[in-house]
Structure 1
C-alpha cells in the first residue's frame, strides 16, 4: 500500500509539473503575441494612412493634437487665481492641515545685506553624497569644500550611525584645515521633507531618495546632529540654521542683489519660497516684531493635488501620474519638472506615430519604452538653429530612427516646444502670483535647477509670460543663483550670527 501511495504521489507531481510548464508556455505566448500585436497595430493602420496625407496635412494634424498642451492667457489667469487661493489656505491656521500648498514658515526673517563677514561652515545633505564647505565672506566669497560619500549600509542603518558619520566627516574637514580652535557657525541644508519649528529645529517627515535610517522620522535633525558632534567631543560647531535648497537659492542671490525676494527651483523637481508679511501668516505663533516678515517655503509642487488643476491636465499627465511612485501627489511638479518633461514628450510622440503622423507610422522599440526620451533631449533639440536638425537627427538615431525626414524632425521639435513652453508658462504663473503678493515695485527672482540652467529658451519664455500676468507697475528680474545649498546655507548662518550679535 505504501508503494502504491508513493507512485500515485509521483504521478500527481509529474502531472502538476506538466500543467505548470504548459501554463508558462501559454503566458509567454500570450505576452509575445500581445506585444507583437500592439506594435503591428501601432504601425499597420498608420502606415496605410500615411500615403494619403501630404506634409502640410500632417503638420496641421500634429499641431491640432499638441494644442491641448498650449495654455491660453485665460487659462493661465485661472491657474494664478487657483494658486493664490491655495497659498491663502496654506497660510491660514484653520485650513492649513488640509492645504496642498503648505506654505511653511522657514523662520528666516532677514536677508543678507552684503556686509556679511567671517568664516562659516555649511553642510549640504540631500543624497548619496554630502558636502562640507568652509566659506569666508569679505568683499568677495571664498569657498573650500569636500564631498563625502554616504555608504549604502549607513543610508539604511540606524539613525545615530548616519549622524555619527556626518560628525566624523565634519571633524575630519575641520582638522585638515586647522580650524579646531574656532567656534564656527554652521548652516545645515537638509533636503528632505521636514516640518520646520524654528530656525534651528526641523522634524523629518519622511525619508526619500533611498534613505531609510531608523529612529529619525519625526525627530529634530538638528538635535540629532548636535548629539553626534557632542559624542565626539573633539570639535566646536554652532549650528545656526537648518534650511532647504529653495531658501538657500534665495539667500545666495540676495547676497549680491538687495531686491531678491523669491527663490525658485526648476530642476528634477520644482519649489519656490518668498518673503511674506507676518500679518498674513496665521501660522506664526511668535511675537510679531521687526522685521515683520518671514521667508515662506511654499512646497508648491503639490499644487493641484486636490483637483483644482484638473482643467489643465491632459491624458499624458494622467498617464504619468498613474504610473509614478506617488500617484495623486505633486501634480504641478509633474507638469513642470525635469523628472517628467521628457516622458510627456515621449507619450505625445508615440501617439503621433500611432496616428501615422511621424516616421511613416513605424515606432522603434526604444521609443515604446517608458523613460527612453530624456528631458535633456528637449533642450538639445530646441538648441538647433531654425531649419537645422543636427541635434534632433542624432537623438532620433539613438532612438532607432535612422531615416527621419525634415518634416519628422520639425514635428518632433514642435512637440518639444509645446512641452517646454507649457512648463515655462505654468512656472511663470506661479512666480507671477508671488510677485503680486509681495507687491514691491522691483523684485529679483533667484532661480536654480537643471531645466532653467540648460534649456535654451526657458528663461525667455518665463519672462515673456510673467510680463503678461504680473500687475502693472511691478518690475522683475530673473537671476541665476549660484550654489544655494552651499553658499546659501552659510549665508543663513551668517545672517543669524549678525542678528544674534545685534541683540
Structure 2
C-alpha cells in the first residue's frame, strides 16, 4: 500500500503548479483591472491587450419589446438561425442548427458568408416568412471593434476559425453582400453583438440586476455594464448613463502578464494551436483546451511511470484525443466510484488502469477544472468590484459552465472570497442566451427606432 499511495502523493505534489495561490490571484486581479482601464482609455486603447470594445448597447430589455425577429448566432463549429416572437412577457422561439464544415472554417470569407446566407434564406422559407422584411440580430462571437450597433470590424479570428478576407472588414457588410448576391430574402440587420452581450441581454430580460455576461464554453470572455464617462472611446449617445463593454479578456496575458501562473502544459497547448501567442487567458480556461491540458498532464505522469504502470496508449499519446467532456464525465462519478472514469479510459485503450490510477486521473481533471474556475472567478470578481454595485447578477452561458458538475459551485465559492465585502452576487445560467439575446438587442434597437419615428 505504501508504495502506491506514495505515487498519489508525487502526483498531488506535481499538480500543485495548477493551483493558484491567494497571492497569485490577487496579483492577476490587479493586472486585469489595469489592463481593462488601458482598454477603456482613449490614449491607451491602441496598445492595450484587453481591448474592452464598446458594444453600443445602452439599453437593457425592459419587457415592453414586441414583434417578430430573426437572430443569427455564429460562434463555434456550428451556427444557429432563430425566429423569435416576443409577446407580453412570453416568447416563442424556433431555431435550427447548421454545421460549419472545417473546409469553410478555414476557407474564404465569401464561402463562409454565402453558406450563412443560404442557411438563413432556407430557414426563412421553411418558416413561411420568406416574403416578410424582418429585423435581425447577429451574434458574432469573435473579437469585433464596433463602430456602431450595426457595424463591427473583425479584429482576429479565434476558436479554430481562419477565413481569409475577413479581418479588418465589417462583418455586417459581408453578411449583407452575401444576401444581396442571392437576392431572395429581405432582412434589416438591426444589431451585431458578441455572445457575451447576447447572454447579458437574455438574462437581463428576466432579471433586471443582470449586469455581467460571461461565456465559459469553447472560448472564454465577459462583458459588463460600464458608466459612459469611463468608456472614453464611446462616441454614441452620452445622455444615457451606461454602455455595455465587451472586454475580450481571452487575450489577457498575451503580453506576458500571465506568465506568473502559466505552466509547461499551457506553453505546449499554445505552441500547437492555430493562433500561437494569442488568447493565452482563454487557453487556460475554455472548453477548447481543457481536455488537452489534462491529457498533457496525464501523458507526462504516464511517461514518468506514475500512471498506468508506465504503459500509455496510442490514443492517449495523440493530440486532441482527451475531450473536455471527459473531464465532466470523470468528475461526475460518485466519490469512490470510477464507472465513468473507467469508461473513458477504456475508450482510450487504457483498460489496464487500477483504481489507484482512476483516483489520480480524477485528481488531474479536478486540478485543471478548478484552476479554470478560479481564473474565471478572479475575472468576474474584478468586474463586480470595478462596477461597485451592491447587487449584481452574472448571466453565464457556455458548455463548460453548463455541463461541468462542479463549475458553478467552484465559482460561487471563489467569487465570494474575492468580492468587496457587502456586495451580493448571483450566477444565472442563460437559457439559449446568445440567440435570444441577439433578437432582444434587435428588439430594443427597433423599440428605440419606432420611438424615434413616432416622435
**Fold match (TM-score > 0.5):** yes
Structure 1 pair 66/126, CA: closer, same or farther in 2 (3 Å)? closer
Of 425, 431, 436, which residue of structure 1 is paired with 2:385? 436
Match of 2:301 in 1: 352
- CA-to-aligned-CA distance 1:243-272 (integer Å, 9 cap, x gap): 121111111111111111111111111111
**CA deviation after TM superposition for structure 1 residue 437, in Å:** 1.3
Question: Given the alignment of the two structures, is residue 201 of structure 1 paired with residue 201 of structure 2, yes or no?
Answer: no
Distance, in Å, in 1 between the alignment partners of 2:370 and 2:126 is 48
Post-superposition offset of 1:167: 4.4
Segments of structure 2 that go 5 or more residues without pairing to the other structure are none
Q: TM-score, normalised by structure 2?
A: 0.91
Question: Partners in 2 of 1:169 and 1:346 — Cα distance?
Answer: 36
**Larger radius of gyration between Structure 1 and Structure 2:** 1
**What is the distance in 2 between the residues matched to 1:309 and 1:259?**
31
1:390 aligns with 339
Deviation at 1:150, TM superposition (A): 6.0
Distance 1:459 1:152, change over 3 A: closer
* Number of the residue aligned with 1:77: 26
Q: How many residues align?
A: 450
Task: Please provide the CA RMSD for this pair.
Answer: 2.4
Partner of 1:376: 325
2:276 to 327, 343, 360: 327
Q: 1:223 to 1:354 in 2, by over 3 A?
A: closer
Quote the Cα distance in structure 2 between the aligned partners of 1:370 and 1:164: 32
Deviations 1:452-484 (A, max 9, x none): 111100000000000000011111111111222
- 1:401 shift after superposition: 2.3
Cα contact 1:154–1:213 (8 A) shared by 2: no
CA deviations 1:256-310 (Å, max 9, x no partner) are 11111111111111111111111111112345112x1111111101111111111
Three-state SS of the structure 2 residue aligned to 1:78 is helix
Question: Which of 57, 73, 78 is 2:6 aligned to?
Answer: 57
**What aligned pairs does 1:87-486 form with structure 2 within 5 A after superposition?**
87-126=36-75, 129-138=78-87, 139-148=89-98, 163=113, 166-179=116-129, 182-206=132-156, 209-210=160-161, 212=163, 214=165, 216-229=166-179, 235-290=185-240, 292-486=241-435
SS at match of 1:339: helix
Alignment of 1:1-12 (within 5 A): none
> How far, CA to CA, are the matches of 1:201 and 1:124 in structure 2?
16
Q: Which range moved further: 235-244 or 410-419? A: 235-244
What secondary structure is seen at the aligned counterpart in 2 of 1:197?
Answer: strand
TM-score for both structures, normalised by structure 1: 0.83
